[in-house]
Chains A and B, each alone.
Chain A
Amino acid sequence: GQNIDQPTEMTATEGAIVQINCTYQTSGFNGLFWYQQHAGEAPTFLSYNVLDGLEEKGRFSSFLSRSKGYSYLLLKELQMKDSASYLCAVRSHDYKLSFGAGTTVTVRA
């Protein structure tokens, strides 16, 4: 099974940078995903890491260290619309996804 931990809440100021950490313990690792979910809406895909290192996509970057069971999502130049819940998900060898409980990010003006 999977045990996935991420902070419950974070607050940051518009224009700033926020880093959301995710740690996991897994019986079989086959990739890590980050999703964004606005209140009352469906999750949407942000990023995917299967190898160690940093993946950059515009203002969002995701990092993975498989040996440490650790990932982070970095949000730069924060905008009000980035206020949302961010979900870390680990895929196992049977291709099932296990999600963390999510981190609610509040961006303040």
Chain B
Amino acid sequence: QVQLQQWGAGLLKPSETLSLTCAVFGGSFSGFYWSWIRQPPGKGLEWIGEISHTGSTNYNPSLKSRVTISIDTSKNQFSMKLSSVTAADTAVYYCARVADLRYVWGTYRYFDYWGQGTLVPVSS
């Protein structure tokens, strides 16, 4: 059974850097993309970005200038850093695995395993 366990710093002040790590247990680590998704309190979900096991990244343009996702295949872990945070970055942050199904007629991707979520408040 695949499990994602995430951790990172809690309360941040404006202008600081948010840093989170997600460890993957069970299943294969290579061959997948790994994503970060966030959810402000009481609001909807926002995709932040993803990284492949080879280190190829894809970011949401709305956050691209501030976000870096990295991977450590030796530890089956991937991480995210978000710089210059403001109160608008207050959210529960989730890590997730991207299932990638390839058929002759198309490719379908979805988030099939999620971490438990980490609430990161940003306040002065």
Say if A and B assemble together.
no
List chain A positions with a Cβ less than 8 A from chain B.
none
